[in-house]
Chain A
């Protein structure tokens, strides 16, 4: 079930010796077995915060790369939101030219170490892979994400990364609000054109959801640090502890500080609550709070951290996205005995990455499907004691094509918990909208932008990522950042 890295590597080396140097036919490539990635053993990993997925070995990545058929039509590329030339970088990986592979990726994505780890590849590039299609199993697709991860990790660890070229000073300056994935990719593309770029981050660490949201066991923070360091080396200035809308408004950034254009990548950071009885009891946390305490404030380091973490034995997590998985698995690692994911639909509808769901199951997270929380019942001390749940059934599809969940009256029951984590989604950050006149937003509070340029209704102001999309994915945010930067570069050239 959990083969050690050594075993997987030995098998890959044998196979590599056999295949290396041969002209492989498509048929032969199709017969190469999918390379499994080593992971930490579940019984060990629930006792630590270290990364669960251990990555490929060099022999494994070369074998996995050989599984790629180098389709001329490149169907995988259309599944990638930033359009990475996937067959091209895989071909370099097959040859062992890892730095070259990374430079191909970096033409489109600045964060390969991150995206290789956190993208839902089964819904993106790997969903369109010919190999997976031929085998009628997306799980059998070429492991594009794992190869991307390997080449990026390899070049980082061997100091082979090149700092992207920066053009001559254009005399223009751009303010970027937020330092998450959308902002990072916009910043890099704007800086390449020689503009002065300043990133304004409200928290005391840059990276957005990559630092406060996604846990160490899924995305080591040193990787995020490293990627941000490249941005700094390109000459991008990162200003921490700066809340646009409060420290300065958008208008002031133009008028007082003289910025020529602004990109808003402030994300969807406003946690949604269910608005049910008892939700303000002690021991009820938004997933944002729970994860921010653990990740950003390092509260998992119980003996060192000054930020406290709630002590829990029985934890209920409401929701079934990646954030819910992250919160549940964090709670387990912090010593909870029972952690239940309470979800009103079934496993098929769960929005989390398949790999994270599998990992959560291996770690003993309990999945309760077709069940919705109705109220939270505190004890006399005001602390969570029970959750009243109600059974659900699936109804017809809604406008997004997802089947509705319908409560079945009269099926209420009580379950005993001492902690509740609410992970039912986030709304867009309202501060910029509230402090800037003339920005058009939807009824959900997301910024309305021109889909081809990411321009907002206010001249010189562009926006991308979750502030436009609502809570989406890292790579979609990056795609928007790039699109906005392209349009901003054109706009700045006209000034």
Chain B
């Protein structure tokens, strides 16, 4: 049982929770994730990246977007409530080292898992540029924390409501053309990571992506998360989640992400109906 110590709403659909999990907090490194299951007989297991951890307090921080039925349920939890099942830290840590100039690119909620990597890259002596992209101003998260750590932060929004009206690939391309870049890290929706990889490829810049495929156990026993990397089948949960973006079969990954789309849409509809009822009662 893991107690929720603090909860904060970062935007209309994005929530931050600090949760008691002393052993995970102690073991965790940047780039790793957890699997969370609420505890009911029918609850699903969902992967979430560890956005921050405090080994002294024995807590980890997760940031998630309420996008479907399970994440809506988690979003309804309050401080003092418990999350029954929390497994981690899972996956391999980010390959943090002194590269030189590292550009960290986060799309939407991807800024959350990106933050510990930005911190670690900075601590390893890199010059760190952060590009944060979001659909609209309200969805930009962690800007202050990023500014406190990174050398430079660039914000882009799809609708131009904040920062530059652009996709993350536009400032990224500009930076690659004008300055020396030694490593790019991209975390966000798969399509964004695909285009970041396509952007850096002509420059030959090593590009780390953090894949967020469908997962169940997160420990390597099912292969639900498998992807093709450099022609080989790899399990994201144990061989990743980070891979060389230039070697990932993005089209297969994008297709596989849609395996359960029909069921997810039904579930999402069901949960929105559920939420309406609850608000009506209140």
Residues of A within 8 A of B (CB): 202-204, 240-243, 246-248, 269-271, 273, 275, 279-280, 282-283, 285-286, 288-289, 292-293, 297-298, 301, 304-311, 381-382, 429-431
Interchain CB contact (< 8 A) of B217 among A202, A242, A273: A202
Contact A308/B252 with A247-B88, A269-B220, A293-B216 known, Cβ cut-off 8 Å: no
Question: Which residues of the partner chain A approach B217 to less than 8 Å between Cβ atoms?
Answer: 202-203, 292
Q: Are B27 and A247 in contact (CB under 8 A)?
A: yes
Interface residues of B in 223-282 (CB under 8 A from A): 223-224, 226-228, 233, 238, 249, 252, 255-256, 258-260, 262-264, 267
Chain A interface helix/strand/loop/mixed: loop
B159 at the interface (CB under 8 A from A): no
Interchain nearest-CB distance for B89 vs A (Å): 6
Q: Are B27 and A248 in contact (CB under 8 A)?
A: yes
Q: Are B44 and A271 in contact (CB under 8 A)?
A: no
Q: Are A429 and B255 in contact (CB under 8 A)?
A: no
B24 at the interface (CB under 8 A from A): yes
Q: Are B220 and A247 in contact (CB under 8 A)?
A: no
Contact A429/B222 with A246-B88, A246-B90, A307-B44 known, Cβ cut-off 8 Å: no
Q: Are A308 and B260 in contact (CB under 8 A)?
A: yes
Chain B interface helix/strand/loop/mixed: mixed
Besides A247-B88, A280-B256, 20 new A-B residue pairs in contact (Cβ under 8 A), listed by A number: A202-B87, A241-B85, A241-B86, A241-B87, A243-B87, A246-B88, A275-B233, A282-B258, A285-B223, A286-B222, A289-B223, A292-B216, A298-B42, A304-B41, A305-B44, A306-B44, A307-B45, A307-B216, A311-B263, A431-B219
Q: Which 8 A-B pairs have the closest CB atoms?
A: A382-B255, A289-B222, A269-B221, A308-B263, A204-B85, A306-B44, A308-B260, A307-B44
Question: Which residues of the partner chain B approach A202 to less than 8 Å between Cβ atoms?
Answer: 87, 217, 219
Q: Give the interface size class of chain B.
A: 35 or more
Contact with A along B67-94 (1 / 0, CB 8 A): 0011000000000000011111110000
Interchain nearest-CB distance for B101 vs A (Å): 32
- A sample of 22 inter-chain contacts (CB < 8 A) reads A203-B87, A204-B39, A241-B85, A243-B87, A243-B88, A243-B219, A246-B90, A247-B23, A280-B227, A280-B256, A282-B259, A286-B224, A292-B222, A305-B42, A305-B44, A306-B69, A308-B260, A308-B267, A311-B262, A382-B258, A429-B221, A431-B219
Q: Which residue of B lies closest to A270 (CB)?
A: B220
- A63-B45 Cα distance, complex, nearest whole Å: 48
B37 at the interface (CB under 8 A from A): yes
B177 at the interface (CB under 8 A from A): no
Contact A289/B259 with A204-B84, A246-B27, A431-B238 known, Cβ cut-off 8 Å: no
B152 at the interface (CB under 8 A from A): no
Q: Could you say which of A203, A241, A242, A429 has the most chain B C-beta atoms within 10 Å of its C-beta?
A: A241
Interchain nearest-CB distance for B163 vs A (Å): 35
Contact with A along B188-228 (1 / 0, CB 8 A): 00000000000000000000000000001101111110111
- A191-B39 Cα distance, complex, nearest whole Å: 28
Interchain nearest-CB distance for B254 vs A (Å): 9
